[in-house]
A and B are shown apart, each in its own frame.
Chain A
Amino acid sequence: MAMSEANVARASAPRGLTAKDRNRLINIAIPVGTAVSLLLIWQAGVRLFGVPQYIAPAPTDILSVFVSEFPLLMRNFWPTLIESLAGFIVGNLAAILIAVAFVHSRLVERAFFPIAVFVNTIPILAIAPILVLIFGPGLTAKVVIAALICFFPTLVNMVRGLQSVSPQALELARILSASKSEVFWKIRLPTSLPFLFSALKIAATTCVIGAIVGEWIGANVGLGALIIESTFNFRSPLLYATVFVSSGLSVVLFAAVTLAERFIVRW
């Protein structure tokens, strides 16, 4: 609705910017301007005080490494992307299925919820070496770590979402003599979607953290491995470039989830 109204507004005022457009431009300009200013201050500060490159490289140093080492960065980007995505899918799918089981059986919830809370209290950095020991230095350990970090927020949100059906909606279902599966597919699941998507947004960024932590412990490819390697070799511009690529990966995943939400949760 809002989109079509904006289009109408634009069509009716072809010349010049409408107030809405101007507002939107200002909303973009302010954060971009701030970021550019901070980068300029960083650049000037590093040059002015003669900070050695291995302690803090200037933004231009990072940019030039980003360009020259682009193939190296990409070679390490793909494994991390695959691990993050696989972890995202496995962790969230497990959380959704367990949430469904919790909502349908109080017994299952009472038996397993404390265990889920306990697993969640173990710092991911503490459990990662154990998982690498169990699953070896390959892909599996990283996927499991990424899945584990996604799991708990999605579980909690999904349980809340599935339980947020109004009592009247359940009475309506009862009057229509709806079966348990009809209540689930037609009422509970759609009701839970906004809750699920706020959890998936959290998972979109944390799954990358999980994959990178996994790569720190035992890997020779991936952004995490590249971070460790460039740190030990004092290749600070490459380290910074890798960090930016990592956060770029999180942003891409977050944007993908947001886009999916906009298509699916239209109400």
Chain B
Amino acid sequence: MHTEGRDIAASLSGAGVRFGDFTALKDITLDIGAGEFWTILGPSGCGKSTMLRLVSDLVPPATGSVEIFGKSTEAARLAREFAFVFQDATLLPWRSALKNVELPLEIGRKRGIAIPKGDRTPRELLELVGLGDRADALPSEMSGGMRQRVAIARALVCQPKLLLMDEPFGALDEMTRDRLNLQLLDIWRETGTTILFVTHSIPEAVFLGQKVLMLMAHPGRIKEVVDIDLPYPRAISLREAPEFNAYCSQLRRLLEEC
């Protein structure tokens, strides 16, 4: 399934995570190719979020190893090779949209740490997510969807090669979610970054991903990787297509087996 010779963004081999006696993830072996869009599905408690936290050096592996672009997760974190988008936008409420996007450029500057700067300025990134005219707005003056777009712009400011997204649109209404899905696909195409996207929505997983990673619970482990063979650019109308629905039914069956 994995072609040889491709660049690997994240490589997990036999990786497991334990919280005390509880095994959150067990024996995860997986290569994620650079530039690919992966979505992660699974029943609740199967370790979807934990998997992103493992890759982003927020939790250490209890067994096995994780490498990001051939480096340790810590080295990748220090080099800002990945960025994280949380379910809640996690903006600092006293900072304007623009100042929130600039935050990653400020952290570590006084300590003389080399911060990778992207091709786009924070202002250009706000324009990319369609918020160029709201640069001075405070988070409290924006809707949930707008705040999440600011969070995405902030994640892109150091031009990460890997973008980890933990149910970023889970708390939004259906229409906002559709719009942000399309926008995210545009951003993915334009930046060429690798995306790992956790969701609990089967249609969202199929609509966005090239590959769907299905996890199962107790303990969290890989159930299956499903290639989604649908062409990009994808439009909302794709949801009506029989192939799309066939993928959804296949995944729903897999989810029921978990």
Q: Is the CB of B84 within 8 A of A186?
A: no
Q: Which of B53, B56, B88, B94 has the most CB of A within 10 A?
A: B94
Chain B window 58-94, contacts with chain A (Cβ cutoff 8 Å), 1 for yes, 0 for no: 1000000000000000000110101110101010111
Q: Is the CB of A172 within 8 A of B90?
A: yes
| Distance of A24 Cα from B80 Cα, bound (Å) | 52
Asked if A263 is at the interface of the complex by the 8 Å CB criterion, the answer is no
Tell me, rounded to whole Å, the shortest Cβ–Cβ distance linking A166 to chain B.
7
Q: Is the CB of B103 within 8 A of A186?
A: yes
Interface residues of A in 151-175 (CB under 8 A from B): 166, 168-169, 171-175
Asked if B107 is at the interface of the complex by the 8 Å CB criterion, the answer is yes
B77: chain A residues within 8 A (beta carbon): 175, 177
Who on chain A is nearest to B115 by CB?
A176
Chain A window 58-90, contacts with chain B (Cβ cutoff 8 Å), 1 for yes, 0 for no: 000000000000000000000000000000000
Q: Is the CB of A175 within 8 A of B58?
A: yes
Asked if A137 is at the interface of the complex by the 8 Å CB criterion, the answer is no
Q: Is the CB of A171 within 8 A of B84?
A: yes
B113: chain A residues within 8 A (beta carbon): 177
Q: Which of A172, A173, A187, A193 has the most CB of B within 10 A?
A: A172
Instruction: Tell me what chain A mostly uses at the interface: helix, strand, loop, or mixed.
Output: helix
Q: Is the CB of A176 within 8 A of B108?
A: yes
Tell me, rounded to whole Å, the shortest Cβ–Cβ distance linking A192 to chain B.
11
Asked if B138 is at the interface of the complex by the 8 Å CB criterion, the answer is yes
Q: Is the CB of A267 within 8 A of B86?
A: no
Asked if A190 is at the interface of the complex by the 8 Å CB criterion, the answer is yes
| Distance of A173 Cα from B57 Cα, bound (Å) | 12
B78: chain A residues within 8 A (beta carbon): 177
Q: Is the CB of B107 within 8 A of A173?
A: yes
Asked if B141 is at the interface of the complex by the 8 Å CB criterion, the answer is yes
Instruction: Tell me what chain B mostly uses at the interface: helix, strand, loop, or mixed.
Output: loop
Who on chain B is nearest to A172 by CB?
B90
Q: Is the CB of A179 within 8 A of B111?
A: yes
Tell me, rounded to whole Å, the shortest Cβ–Cβ distance linking B192 to chain A.
21
Asked if A266 is at the interface of the complex by the 8 Å CB criterion, the answer is yes
On whether A266 and B90 interact (CB within 8 A), knowing A175-B83, A177-B78, A186-B106, the answer reads no
Tell me, rounded to whole Å, the shortest Cβ–Cβ distance linking B211 to chain A.
24
A171: chain B residues within 8 A (beta carbon): 53, 58, 84, 86
- Number of B residues, CB within 8 Å of A: 27
| Distance of A193 Cα from B94 Cα, bound (Å) | 10
Q: Is the CB of B93 within 8 A of A177?
A: no
Tell me, rounded to whole Å, the shortest Cβ–Cβ distance linking A45 to chain B.
50
Asked if B140 is at the interface of the complex by the 8 Å CB criterion, the answer is yes
Tell me, rounded to whole Å, the shortest Cβ–Cβ distance linking B151 to chain A.
9
Q: Is the CB of B108 within 8 A of A182?
A: yes
Asked if B139 is at the interface of the complex by the 8 Å CB criterion, the answer is yes
On whether A176 and B94 interact (CB within 8 A), knowing A168-B86, A168-B88, A267-B140, the answer reads no
Who on chain B is nearest to A190 by CB?
B94
Q: Is the CB of B107 within 8 A of A174?
A: no
B108: chain A residues within 8 A (beta carbon): 176-179, 182
B88: chain A residues within 8 A (beta carbon): 166, 168
A182: chain B residues within 8 A (beta carbon): 107-108
Tell me, rounded to whole Å, the shortest Cβ–Cβ distance linking A60 to chain B.
49
A174: chain B residues within 8 A (beta carbon): 57-58
Asked if B104 is at the interface of the complex by the 8 Å CB criterion, the answer is yes
A178: chain B residues within 8 A (beta carbon): 107-108
| Distance of A265 Cα from B88 Cα, bound (Å) | 22
Asked if A1 is at the interface of the complex by the 8 Å CB criterion, the answer is yes
| Distance of A265 Cα from B94 Cα, bound (Å) | 8
Q: CB < 8 Å: which of B84, B94, B138, B141 contacts A172? A: B84
A177: chain B residues within 8 A (beta carbon): 77-78, 80, 107-108, 113
Chain A window 1-17, contacts with chain B (Cβ cutoff 8 Å), 1 for yes, 0 for no: 10000000000000000
Who on chain B is nearest to A169 by CB?
B90
Who on chain B is nearest to A265 by CB?
B94
Q: List 27 A-B contacts (CB under 8 A).
A: A1-B141, A166-B88, A166-B90, A168-B88, A169-B92, A171-B53, A171-B58, A172-B86, A174-B58, A175-B56, A175-B57, A175-B58, A175-B77, A175-B82, A175-B84, A177-B77, A177-B78, A177-B107, A178-B108, A179-B108, A179-B111, A182-B107, A182-B108, A186-B92, A187-B92, A190-B92, A266-B138
